[in-house]
Amino acid sequence: MTTEIERIETNARMSKIVRHEGIVYLCGQTAKGAGAGDIAAQTREVLSRVDALLEKAGTDRSRILTTTIYLRNIRDFAGMNEVWEAWMPNGAAPARSTVQAHLASEELLVEMTVTAAAG
């Protein structure tokens, strides 16, 4: 039995959002533009992008199931967490992992991938 897969904001390389069987998958989100800021500024921008995509998919941050966070430098863990904890609703923390990674460009400090329950 085949179930429908909905792809939103799709191009030849990827979809920004994929919905399937009540689950919403977001592609990796980063800050945009040269000089995107320090870890706090970039984390705020990434989370704003996550909010916008979740809304477009008909869900919200309180329904996030898992998040993988990629940091250029693991020493930014505390700064990223400070912004994350202010953003995440109490009692809604998802399963989460954070790893150090080489990101697509030198100016990028953080990237996040998110999976959420549909609204």
What pLDDT, on a 0 to 100 scale, did the predictor assign at position 46?
A: 97
pLDDT digit string (tens) for 62-111?
A: 999 999 999 999 999 999 999 999 999 999 999 999 999 999 988 999 99
- Asked if residue 96 lies in contact with residue 65, where contact means CB atoms within 8 angstroms, the answer is no
DSSP state of 75: G
Domain regions of the chain by residue span = 5-117
pLDDT digit string (tens) for 24-75?
A: 999 999 998 657 799 999 999 999 999 999 999 999 999 999 999 999 999 9
User: Beta strands of the chain (E only): which ranges?
Assistant: 5-10, 15-20, 23-30, 64-71, 95-100, 110-117
What is the spatial distance between Cα 105 and Cα 116, in angstroms, rounded to a whole number? 27
Closest C-alpha among 15, 80, 72 to residue 47: 80
Look up the pTM and report it. 0.94
**78, 84, 87, 92: CA torsion to nearest 10:** -120
Q: State the CATH class of domain 5-117.
A: alpha beta
